[in-house]
Each structure stands twice: as structure tokens, then as C-alpha cells.
Amino acid sequence: MKLLRYIVPHIKTYEVIPARNITFTFNNIGYKTIEEYGNSTFYCFDDLGVETTGRHFGKDCNVMGEILLSRYDLFLKSNIKTHATTNLNAQELEDRYGNRVRSRMRQLFNLIGFDKESVDKRK
């Protein structure tokens, strides 16, 4: 399996962005952030669910929830792919984003789960 990377080089067609950074950007520049990440670029949202609720000029917003809804519409209309990583289980995702977003995640994402005893690939 390790030989495959030398035969077929991996070309990453998506940008990896921590979900926390997206919320920090929202706190600074506002709702334009949701529009930026709801575009047709391929993204991988890293550590989905650990970000805080966004707040811009006193208005709270579930930034990643709104972005995921926009990405879902893009997926249906143009087959635009979205990737995400998270340490949360399905119930925790539903608690964080609500039932509506979680039901769209089922269609938007393919789940790849790891056992608790799996070796951490980041090390």
C-alpha cells in the first residue's frame, strides 16, 4: 500500500481549514464568511464541532451549521464535494448543529470511523 503513493502521486484538490478559524473569521468580518465558504471551492473542515458559536456585533450564529447547509445545496446542485474531520459522534453532532444539519450530513458525507484502539495517524 505504501508503494501506491509513488506510482500515483496524491494531488489534494481541497483546502484544509480548521473550523475554529472559520468562526474566528466570522467574529471579525461577519456574515461574508458564510458566503465565502459556501462557494464552489472544495474544502475539508478540520475538527468540526469544536468551534465556538460565532458572534458578530452581538448577534450569535452557528457559523459551521450555516456553512454546511450552503455546502449541502451546492452538493445537490453541482456535486461540489465537502470533507470534514471530527472527534464527535452522531449524537454530539446533532446536539451541536441540530437535527436538520445532521440529516443533511448523512447525505453530504461518507463516514469513515476508527476504533478507539486505532493508532493515531497524526503521530
Q: In this structure, which amino acid lies at residue 58? A: G
What does the pLDDT look like over 3-51, one tens digit per residue?
656 665 666 678 889 999 999 999 999 999 999 998 888 999 999 999 9
Predicted local distance difference test score (pLDDT) of residue 71: 94
For the entire predicted model, the pTM comes to: 0.82
Domain extents in the chain: 39-48+56-113
Rounded Cα distance between 42 and 81, Å, is 6
Predicted local distance difference test score (pLDDT) of residue 114: 77
How far does the chain reach from its first CA to its final CA, in angstroms?
A: 19
pLDDT bin (cut points 50, 70, 90) of residue 94 is very high
- The enclosing H or E element of 82 equals strand 82-84
- Smallest Cα–Cα separation from 103: which of 69, 53, 52? 69
- State whether the Cα torsion 2-44-91-120 is positive or negative: positive
User: 96 forms bridges with which residues in the sheet?
Assistant: none
Burial of 85 (0-12, 13-18, 19+ CB in 10 A): middle
DSSP-based three-state secondary structure for 4:
helix
pLDDT bin (cut points 50, 70, 90) of residue 116 is confident
8 A C-beta contact, residue 75 and residue 39 = no
Predicted local distance difference test score (pLDDT) of residue 36: 92
